[in-house]
Amino acid sequence: TQLLEQSPQFLSIQEGENLTVYCNSSSVFSSLQWYRQEPGEGPVLLVTVVTGGEVKKLKRLTFQFGDARKDSSLHITAAQPGDTGLYLCAGRSGYALNFGKGTSLLVTP
């Protein structure tokens, strides 16, 4: 199983602040995905990055895939309370999707 390390594990910020979440591995992935999980629900896909160095934007969220395809980052600009949740990165290994341990984000008004 290829391990994905996420940091920070917990993050509590105020509305309007910016933040970055990191996902690192010693393995190369053909693709990497970011999911968000809200309490009482299953994870929901935010984005898939495929090409090394790729940057994708989803409104205030910016995702980057490392050049070597071993790491990724998620940057949120001007965080809002609705961004609160568990952010999970996941790398594909054959049929399986292996997840990092997640970053729990709390955005307070």
Partner 1 sequence: DTAVSQTPKYLVTQMGNDKSIKCEQNLGHDTMYWYKQDSKKFLKIMFSYNNKELIINETVPNRFSPKSPDKAHLNLHINSLELGDSAVYFCASSHVGDSYGNTIYFGEGSWLTVV
SS3 of residue 37 by DSSP: strand
Among residues 23, 25, 36, 43, the one that binds partner 1 under rule CB under 8 A: 43
- 107, with CB counted inside 10 A (0-12, 13-18, 19+), is buried
User: C-beta of 32: minimal distance to partner 1 in Å?
Assistant: 8
SS3 of residue 58 by DSSP: strand
Among residues 42, 59, 82, 109, the one that binds partner 1 under rule CB under 8 A: 42
- Select 78 or 96, whichever has its Cβ closest to partner 1: 96
Q: Is 31 in the site for partner 1 (CB under 8 A)?
A: yes
Contact 23, 72 (CB under 8 A): yes
Q: Is 25 in the site for partner 1 (CB under 8 A)?
A: no
Stretch that binds partner 1, among 20-28, 45-53, 54-62, 75-83 (CB under 8 A): 45-53
